[in-house]
Structure 1
Amino acid sequence: MPYKRDDSPYWWIFITQSDGKRVRRSSGTADYAAAKALEQQARADVWKEKEWGVNPPRSFNEVMLPYLRNASQHQRSYETTTNRVKALRGHFTGMVMNDLAGKDIRAYMDRRVADGVSAATINRELAALSAAINWCNVEYEWGLPNPVKGRKMREPEGRVRWLTRAEVESLCRAARAQKFGLLLEAFIRLAVNTGCRKEEMLGLEWRRVDFANELVYLEGVHTKAGKRRSIPLNDGAIDALKKMMAFRAEHCPSTPWVFARGNGERVLCLRTGFNKACKKAGIDDFTIHDLRHTCAAHLISAGVALAEVRDLLGHSTVMMTERYAHLAPARVRDAVRVLDQGRERSSSRSVHAEVPAGQGGALLKLVTP
């Protein structure tokens, strides 16, 4: 029978699931008769599941909460996932997930578009829903439909904003003139010369800097993809690291962090100083992450292969790196030159015809245009 709890205005119901597990949950209503009907319906669904093998109705919360508790918490993007679920909850709460159809997914897309949300954000939110459904189908064998599959909004081409070498120098000069300018300049130069992400650099420890082999080691816990990789250091990166080493020796010799304050504490954010430096250098619409784009752009422009840039940046697939392909016109120029070679070969083929003796026995050379 439904019962009351001191901490809830609603009636609570109690059922025993087909696997023997006892479940107490809120009915979501303060009406006793409605709560009793819901409890009886839940018990009938359990009986059908046990005796007939019929899947009971699953609510949005029943699908999403176990996924967040058991699977998503182990992801590096857990907080991002929970934020996406908040948007999903406002639309799908109250729906029976067993009956979820493509029209429901399309309705969600239309609603979010009307709210001014980008296609990329909508796709990521629906990806969280799809992951939760798949997880429940694998772990609990619920056999729920997943109409998210095959439904994806078209996203605009990824943003690529980068600086020329002259602009990089201008930005570094502006950074150097600020308070903590040495640290900010070293950060900018290391980012441009290695392509590392912001968190990979701010979380960098001296024990993972190998000057002898000119490498920086990133473990899986430090990278977005969760895979370890080694970053080679060129002269520009080594110079930036040596400046931070001199700063450490003078101010905080015991700190384990490459980018540390004078008291040895790790630097957590550089956004304010970075934005000021950009403004002073006259650089608009530029973020810290765009330093990574700058590194990739310089490499591609210099003729480095996309696969090698992918490995350096730590992209999971070369598709992520292909956004920079337009910066390598030399590859396309070499391709069209093949057509010139074919034309030269055709031009070299001359048709020689022997002229009759009455015309002096000269040869008539016919050259195809």
Structure 2
Amino acid sequence: MSTTSGTVVERFASSLRHGAGASDHTVRAYVGDVEALAAFLGLDDDSTWTDVALADLRAWLARQAADGKTRTTLARRGASVRAFFAWAHRVGIVEHNPAARLASAKASVTLPHILDVDEASRLLDTAELHAQSGTAIDVRDWAMAELLYATGIRVGELAGVNVGDVDMNERTVRVLGKGDKERVVPFGVPAQRALTSWLENARSQLAGDTAALFVGHRGSRVDQRQVREVIHRLASGAGVPDIAPHALRHSAATHLLEGGSDLRSVQEVLGHASLATTQRYTHVTADRLRHAYELAHPRA
């Protein structure tokens, strides 16, 4: 793509970042999708964006479907180009929006592996056992795992939490979610105990001049990669299925619903903009209920 066309994409990225408050991850994904579309259509200057038709967009998505891309990927890429052309039409880069009638692929509702309650307990008990006889890093890992499961927050939200965001008396944590939306999420006594151990006994051994709640060996704020490595390592040590931090979020949501929490409350905890996103967890709980029924009922 030429510099001129690249400038359009850069302007789009800026509008996402500053106008819509999109996360860096979302900006990278949307920009990558638009650049992939440009490469597919052979666009090399600003004027060619005006020549893009709905059939071109459908052909691009059809090619990816033929290449085996998942419905979730196709849905996101469709959303990317719809957002791009809506913006391009609004700022006058294109006269007509070719993506206005682009159908949205239905994203898969497949969720990552979800730990059952016993597996989650084993993972957290393992983390606590390591913390009792280990280093400051082990105490940190225990606190991170407990807070992830207790609150269902995203790994990026966890990494962004500051010490001042935690209210130990109320047992709540303030996080900044997608679209720079702030919410306050409660946590329980086990997470409070782990956080107290980290803040009072271990954090000072590592923390430099930073407000970050969780820090690494060199005293700087942990990043998402470090958190993922911690959860993978704890899962291995606990003998539970290998999971990523996001699976703890899904596990927490599922266990809340199984325990009787209503969808609206779970939506608030998870920070979902739409209740439809939260409703996917009802499929998991319904499946588990049917499985238990078929195992237990004499006339199942």
TM-score of the pair, normalised by structure 2: 0.78
Structure 2 counterpart of 1:326, one-letter code: H
Aligned-residue identity in percent: 25
Structure 1 counterpart of 2:216, one-letter code: R
Aligned to 2:185: 231
Q: Does 1:116 align with 2:68?
A: yes
Aligned to 1:259: 214
Q: How far is 1:107 from its partner? A: 1.3
Aligned to 1:144: 96
In the alignment, is the contact (CA less than 8 A) between 2:81 and 2:99 conserved in 1? Answer: no
Aligned to 2:295: none
Aligned to 1:192: 149
Q: How far is 1:249 from its partner? A: 4.1
291-300 vs 272-281, which deviates more? 272-281
Name the SS of the counterpart of 2:241 in structure 1: coil
| Residues 230-284 of structure 1: CA deviation (Å, up to 9, x unaligned) | 1123212211211211212455486422212354322222223322322333333
294-303 vs 111-120, which deviates more? 111-120
Q: How far is 1:81 from its partner? A: 2.2
The 3 A distance-change label for structure 1 pair 93 and 148 is farther
- Count of residues paired in the alignment: 271
In the alignment, is the contact (CA less than 8 A) between 1:195 and 1:313 conserved in 2? Answer: yes
**By percentage of residues, which structure has more strand?**
1
In the alignment, is the contact (CA less than 8 A) between 1:300 and 1:327 conserved in 2? Answer: no
Q: Does 1:72 align with 2:24?
A: no
| Residues 34-81 of structure 1: CA deviation (Å, up to 9, x unaligned) | xxxxxxxxxxxxxxxxxxxxxxxxx9x389436426413423222222
Name the SS of the counterpart of 1:278 in structure 2: helix
- Aligned pairs (5 A) from 1:118-133: 118-133=70-85
The 3 A distance-change label for structure 1 pair 288 and 70 is closer
Quote the RMSD (CA, aligned, Å): 2.9
Q: Which of 59, 67, 72 is 1:107 aligned to?
A: 59
Q: How far is 1:229 from its partner? A: 0.9
Structure 1 counterpart of 2:247, one-letter code: D
Name the SS of the counterpart of 2:179 in structure 1: coil
Structure 2 counterpart of 1:191, one-letter code: L
TM-score of the pair, normalised by structure 1: 0.65
Q: How far is 1:196 from its partner? A: 1.0
| Residues 258-314 of structure 1: CA deviation (Å, up to 9, x unaligned) | 212354322222223322322333333521101111111111001100001001111
Higher relative contact order at CA 8 Å, sep ≥6: structure 1 or structure 2? 2
The 3 A distance-change label for structure 1 pair 105 and 235 is same
Q: Does 1:245 align with 2:199?
A: yes
Name the SS of the counterpart of 1:225 in structure 2: helix
**By percentage of residues, which structure has more helix?**
2
Rg larger in 1 or in 2?
A: 1
Distance in structure 2 (CA, Å) of the matches to 1:253 and 1:129: 43
Q: How far is 1:146 from its partner? A: 1.9
Aligned to 1:316: 273
Q: Which of 100, 117, 139 is 1:182 aligned to?
A: 139
Structure 1 counterpart of 2:199, one-letter code: M
162-171 vs 144-153, which deviates more? 144-153
Aligned to 1:283: 240
The 3 A distance-change label for structure 1 pair 311 and 210 is same
Distance in structure 2 (CA, Å) of the matches to 1:139 and 1:208: 38
The list of structure 1 runs, each at least 4 consecutive aligned residues, that deviate by more than 6 angstroms after superposition, is: none
Distance in structure 1 (CA, Å) of the matches to 2:143 and 2:80: 38
In the alignment, is the contact (CA less than 8 A) between 1:160 and 1:323 conserved in 2? Answer: no
Distance in structure 2 (CA, Å) of the matches to 1:171 and 1:69: 39
Q: Which of 84, 95, 109 is 2:33 aligned to?
A: 84
Which residues of structure 1 form unaligned runs of 5+?
A: 1-24, 27-58, 334-369
Q: How far is 1:181 from its partner? A: 2.4
The 3 A distance-change label for structure 1 pair 328 and 169 is closer
Q: How far is 1:84 from its partner? A: 1.9
Distance in structure 2 (CA, Å) of the matches to 1:252 and 1:289: 26
The 3 A distance-change label for structure 1 pair 69 and 296 is closer
Aligned to 1:298: 255
In the alignment, is the contact (CA less than 8 A) between 2:208 and 2:220 conserved in 1? Answer: no
The 3 A distance-change label for structure 1 pair 213 and 263 is same
Distance in structure 2 (CA, Å) of the matches to 1:189 and 1:183: 10
Distance in structure 2 (CA, Å) of the matches to 1:189 and 1:111: 43
Q: How far is 1:173 from its partner? A: 4.1
